């Protein structure tokens, strides 16, 4: 075991972020990679023991990290998002959660062999899914909007409810046992839960009011929110354990539905923090397990309990709670299957394991093993299957990477037409019906609306699109669009037309700090591209083979042609830009904007001559 705490912190962070990168690079479930990394450096090779090495700081670090992650997730819970889904979501987080609690408790008693008291505590806890596992899976799977929204809302809302159910079950058990002061503790629990909601709502309203009235400078807004979240969680949690999760969820939902621009601006900052915390905390939790715990999960009782939770309890709770709703059969099947448990289940189970043992419940000693078995099994099973299952059910938006084009004009219409002919998803967006008329006449998919508007987030599904090209006539607008969508697309996937240095907005000095990459080359301005298309230039597709190499292509291409993009055999697209070089290989299809052929020119001249003679 490594003695340096500083080195351990470095190792945990490196493993967590490294696991995220490996998951992105090879399209694997990030949670699975993080769990394996934690097990390797923890119980398997014994390099670190976070729970022992961090000492009294271990539990507070985990708790505060969970609070921040849950708050960041609740910032996405805008009620506008669930228009038309309110009934299914409400029933899943109420009726579904209750059914899952009851049947999960029965499974824990009759199959895992736990006493009724311990079974009802752990049954309440196991209704949670949570943003730490759901959000990474949704990011990976590219589900259609309806099932994705249902799973996201359930995961974030049920997280604090599950922890509170476990606390309630424990307090109720103590009350039934007739312990002194148990009725007072039970009443205190209910009052503390109400106080937690009021505290979260009040702090959310307070922070929002301060931001709107300018009482907090811009550079302090993110630190103020972060400090307030920690205070909100700590105050509620100190009064009654686990109510802090409820409090930060209420605060996040309050801020999300106030629609404050400052909150939208800092959401990406919070997402980055949340991603870093998820990466490190999951590694720490799995590394803290010991070998005895790992061996215990192979007990037949624990295996039977996990199988029941996956194939009986979860489907039953979803089918019963969504009966009579407008969810399709396919949506019900998918939601019934996807329910991975995560950090909250591990942390709260660890807490109740010690508390129940102190109360004399000896069977609580297997709670850590039971919880980890359920967490790891669901993470692996759902992480590796969500993509395949969603495709089979027709609920996946997985496919060739699409292109979103901002700006309707002659050039973008022809570009979109070419992309569409190559089975690449493409959408042309503009706030003017007139500018979209060309694309609509070609039967292309269009969106009428301001792409920078907040409403676009609710009306335009951007999941199929991995690239954005801003191709309007205004340089400043193109730069603004690209800058706005950096968090969604990544700067490498954002392109804008070259700046018009004669008549444009004089943005050439800012090209390195705002906007996206220059599309095609520096000569490709709005005026130049549209003039070429209107004069007869066409998009030509050329297959690169061993017989006709890229070198041959460059030698024969017209000197006035412009290279646009390359489509790989894997359906990946690479756009040409003045800031990068595209590697063209055998099997690629290269698309260029080339002058019309000589025959086309002759025909056009003949038509023009006939038109002039008729006049």
How many Å apart are CA 194 and CA 247, to the nearest integer? 9
Q: What is the pLDDT of residue 354?
A: 82
Last residue of a domain, one of 360, 392, 424: 392
Least trusted range by pLDDT, from 45-54, 253-262, 502-511: 502-511
Does residue 433 lie in a domain region? Answer: yes
Q: Which domain holds residue 594?
A: 402-614
How many Å apart are CA 362 and CA 135, to the nearest integer? 36
Does residue 75 lie in a domain region? Answer: yes
Cα angle: 82, vertex 83, 85; to 5 degrees:
60
Q: Do 206 and 144 fall within a single domain?
A: yes
Confidence of residue 609 (pLDDT cuts 50, 70, 90): low
pLDDT(4) > 60: yes
Q: Do 449 and 559 fall within a single domain?
A: yes
Does residue 397 lie in a domain region? Answer: no
Q: Do 73 and 207 fall within a single domain?
A: yes
Exposed / middle / buried, residue 10 (Cβ in 10 Å: 0-12, 13-18, 19+): exposed
Q: Do 377 and 411 fall within a single domain?
A: no
- DSSP annotation of 288 reads T
Confidence of residue 589 (pLDDT cuts 50, 70, 90): very high
Tokens of 164: 């509170």
Q: What is the pLDDT of residue 330?
A: 93
pLDDT-above-70 percentage for the chain: 91
Q: Name the residue with higher pLDDT: 231 or 132.
A: 231
Element (H, E) at 347: helix 343-358
What is the mean predicted confidence (pLDDT) over 563-570?
Answer: 91
Which CATH number is 271's domain given? 1.20.1530.20
What is the mean predicted confidence (pLDDT) over 162-172?
Answer: 82
Last residue of a domain, one of 355, 374, 392: 392
CA quadruple 217, 222, 227, 228: dihedral sign: positive
Q: Name the residue with higher pLDDT: 343 or 191.
A: 191
pLDDT-above-90 percentage for the chain: 32
Q: Do 438 and 587 fall within a single domain?
A: yes
Q: What total of structural domains would you count in the chain?
A: 2
Q: What is the pLDDT of residue 92?
A: 92
pLDDT(614) > 80: no
Q: Name the residue with higher pLDDT: 286 or 514.
A: 286
Long-range contacts of 221-226 (CB under 8 A, 24+ apart): 221/262, 221/265, 221/266, 222/266, 222/269, 222/270, 225/263, 225/266, 225/270, 226/68, 226/273
- What does pLDDT average to over the chain? 85
- Determine contact, residues 68/277, Cβ cutoff 8 Å: yes
Does residue 388 lie in a domain region? Answer: yes
Question: Which range, 202-206, 265-269, 273-277, 592-596, has the best average confidence (pLDDT)?
Answer: 202-206
pLDDT(477) > 60: yes
- DSSP annotation of 444 reads -
Longest dimension (CA), the chain: 108
Q: Do 329 and 409 fall within a single domain?
A: no
Last residue of a domain, one of 392, 427, 444: 392
How many Å apart are CA 332 and CA 197, to the nearest integer? 31
Per DSSP, the three-state class of 170 is helix
Per DSSP, the three-state class of 578 is coil
Does residue 605 lie in a domain region? Answer: yes
Q: Do 343 and 421 fall within a single domain?
A: no
What is the mean predicted confidence (pLDDT) over 15-42?
Answer: 86
Does residue 427 lie in a domain region? Answer: yes
Confidence of residue 310 (pLDDT cuts 50, 70, 90): very high
Does residue 131 lie in a domain region? Answer: yes
- Determine contact, residues 391/409, Cβ cutoff 8 Å: no
Which position has the token pair 């990459």? 517
Question: Which range, 172-176, 225-229, 273-277, has the best average confidence (pLDDT)?
Answer: 225-229
Q: What is the pLDDT of residue 599?
A: 47
Exposed / middle / buried, residue 292 (Cβ in 10 Å: 0-12, 13-18, 19+): exposed
How many Å apart are CA 353 and CA 389, to the nearest integer? 35
What is the mean predicted confidence (pLDDT) over 412-418?
Answer: 94
pLDDT(370) > 80: yes
Q: Do 498 and 353 fall within a single domain?
A: no
Q: Any residues with CB less than 8 A from the CB of 95 and at least 6 apart, and which? A: 320, 321
Does residue 16 lie in a domain region? Answer: yes
Q: Do 435 and 523 fall within a single domain?
A: yes
Q: Do 362 and 463 fall within a single domain?
A: no
- Determine contact, residues 133/69, Cβ cutoff 8 Å: no
Per DSSP, the three-state class of 471 is coil
Q: Do 387 and 408 fall within a single domain?
A: no
Which CATH number is 478's domain given? 3.40.50.720
How many Å apart are CA 70 and CA 236, to the nearest integer? 15
pLDDT digits (tens, 9 = 90+) for 542-553: 999 988 988 888
Q: What is the pLDDT of residue 558?
A: 84
Element (H, E) at 367: helix 367-392
What is the mean predicted confidence (pLDDT) over 388-410?
Answer: 88
Q: Do 162 and 283 fall within a single domain?
A: yes
How many Å apart are CA 245 and CA 249, to the nearest integer? 6
What is the mean predicted confidence (pLDDT) over 107-114?
Answer: 93
Confidence of residue 513 (pLDDT cuts 50, 70, 90): low
Q: Name the residue with higher pLDDT: 423 or 136.
A: 423
């Amino acid at each position: 075991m490594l003695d340096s705490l500083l080195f351990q912190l470095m190792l945990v962070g490196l493993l967590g972020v490294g696991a995220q990168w490996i998951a992105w690079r090879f399209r694997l479930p990030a949670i699975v990679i993080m769990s394996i990394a934690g097990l390797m450096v923890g119980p398997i090779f014994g390099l670190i023991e976070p729970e022992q090495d961090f000492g009294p700081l271990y539990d507070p670090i985990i708790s505060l990290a969970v609070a921040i992650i849950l708050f960041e997730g609740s910032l996405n819970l805008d009620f506008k998002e669930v228009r038309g889904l309110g009934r299914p979501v409400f029933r899943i987080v109420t009726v579904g959660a209750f059914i899952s609690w009851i049947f999960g408790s029965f499974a824990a008693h009759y199959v895992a062999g736990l006493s009724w008291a311990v079974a009802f505590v752990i049954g309440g806890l196991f209704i949670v899914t949570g943003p730490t596992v759901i959000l990474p899976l949704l990011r990976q799977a590219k589900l259609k909007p309806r099932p994705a929204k249902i799973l996201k809302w359930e995961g974030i809302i049920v997280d604090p409810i599950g922890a509170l159910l476990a606390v309630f079950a424990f307090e109720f058990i103590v009350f039934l046992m007739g312990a002194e002061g148990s009725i007072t503790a039970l009443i205190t629990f209910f009052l503390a839960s109400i106080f937690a909601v009021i505290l979260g709502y009040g702090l959310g309203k307070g922070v929002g009011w301060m931001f709107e009235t300018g009482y907090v400078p811009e550079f302090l807004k993110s630190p103020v929110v972060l400090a307030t979240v920690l205070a909100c969680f700590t105050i509620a949690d100190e009064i009654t354990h686990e109510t802090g999760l409820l409090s930060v969820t209420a605060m996040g939902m309050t801020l999300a539905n106030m629609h404050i621009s400052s909150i939208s601006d800092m959401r990406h900052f919070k997402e980055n923090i949340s991603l870093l915390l998820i990466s490190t905390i999951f590694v720490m939790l799995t590394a803290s397990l010991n070998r005895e715990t790992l061996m215990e999960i192979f007990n037949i009782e624990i295996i039977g309990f996990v199988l029941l939770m996956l194939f009986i309890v979860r489907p039953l709770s979803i089918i019963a709670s969504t009966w009579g709703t407008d969810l399709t059969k396919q949506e019900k099947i998918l939601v019934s299957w996807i329910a991975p448990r995560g950090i909250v289940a591990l942390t709260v189970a660890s807490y109740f394991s010690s508390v129940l043992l102190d109360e004399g419940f000896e069977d609580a000693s297997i709670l850590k093993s039971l919880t980890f078995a359920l967490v790891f099994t669901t993470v692996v099973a759902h992480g590796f299957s969500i993509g395949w299952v969603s495709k089979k059910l027709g609920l996946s938006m997985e496919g060739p990477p699409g292109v979103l084009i901002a700006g309707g004009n002659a050039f973008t219409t022809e570009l979109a037409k070419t992309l569409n002919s190559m089975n690449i998803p493409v959408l042309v967006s503009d706030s003017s019906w007139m500018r979209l008329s060309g694309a609509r006449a070609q039967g292309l998919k269009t969106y009428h609306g301001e792409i920078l508007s907040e409403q676009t987030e609710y009306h335009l599904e951007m999941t199929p699109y991995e690239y954005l090209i801003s191709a309007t006539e205004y340089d400043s607008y193109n730069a603004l669009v690209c800058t706005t969508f950096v968090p969604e697309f990544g700067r490498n996937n954002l392109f804008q037309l070259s700046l018009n240095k004669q008549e444009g907005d004089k943005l050439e000095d800012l090209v390195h700090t705002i906007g996206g990459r220059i599309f095609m080359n520096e000569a490709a301005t709005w005026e130049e591209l549209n003039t070429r298309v209107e004069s007869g230039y066409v998009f030509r597709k050329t297959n690169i083979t061993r017989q006709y190499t890229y070198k041959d292509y460059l030698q024969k291409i017209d000197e006035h042609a412009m290279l646009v993009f390359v489509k790989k055999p894997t359906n990946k697209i690479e756009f040409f830009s003045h800031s990068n070089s595209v590697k063209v290989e055998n099997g690629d299809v290269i698309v260029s904007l080339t002058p019309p052929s000589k025959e086309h020119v002759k025909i056009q001249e003949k038509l023009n001559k006939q038109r002039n003679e008729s006049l």
